[in-house]
Amino acid sequence: MRRRYRPLRTPPLATLSLVMLSLAVPSLAPVAAAEEPPEILEPQDTATVPSTFPVTVYPGTYLYCDTDGCFDETFQTIRVEADDEPAGSESVDDPMEVVVEVTLEPGQHTLVAHGEGFLGGPGQSEPVVVMVETGGGTDSGDSDEGGSGCRVSSPRGGAPLLALALLTLFGRRRRRP
């Protein structure tokens, strides 16, 4: 005797409503939380630095959403790249700054800080150009000016991922015989 399968009990209108709701939720996210990419605080753009120098980075945040809502989470690791090559990385202990020690050859280099989150996507800083001195000079990039300006950023569109996750959950739901 052939087993007869019942159709999925989720009406198409309910599925469509859930997809539409998942598309609307990220538009509400800036009210609850906002992503901030990492930012290189020191050295300043166009600074002259010695061959080994510290790069001070504000780690930034990413948007993490679960059943309790959406929250800003600090990136767990900061990775500094020089000319698209790895130059150093550090775990984030202080949510306000991370210091990564970098050693580079003399010449001009472009630094970019990447934030890596356990549950969120990667974030990337604006590039900073530094000139590494030949010989053991002093760091002229020292400055007490903290960048305290406001930064406006919009969250990445997480709607397609959320919609895919919901549809996968509904699709994998076990059917009763």
The vertex-5 CA angle with 21 and 173, nearest 5°, equals 35
Predicted structure pTM score: 0.56
176: pLDDT strictly greater than 80: no
Query: Could you tell me the CA-to-CA distances from 45 to 4, 27, 108, 131, 140 in Å, in that order?
Result: 69, 34, 11, 9, 11
H-run or E-run covering 119: none
What proportion of the chain, given as a percentage, has pLDDT over 90? 29
One-letter amino acid of 106: P
**Domain topology for 33-156:** Immunoglobulin-like (2.60.40)
Domain boundaries, the chain: 33-156
pLDDT of 30 > 60? The answer is no
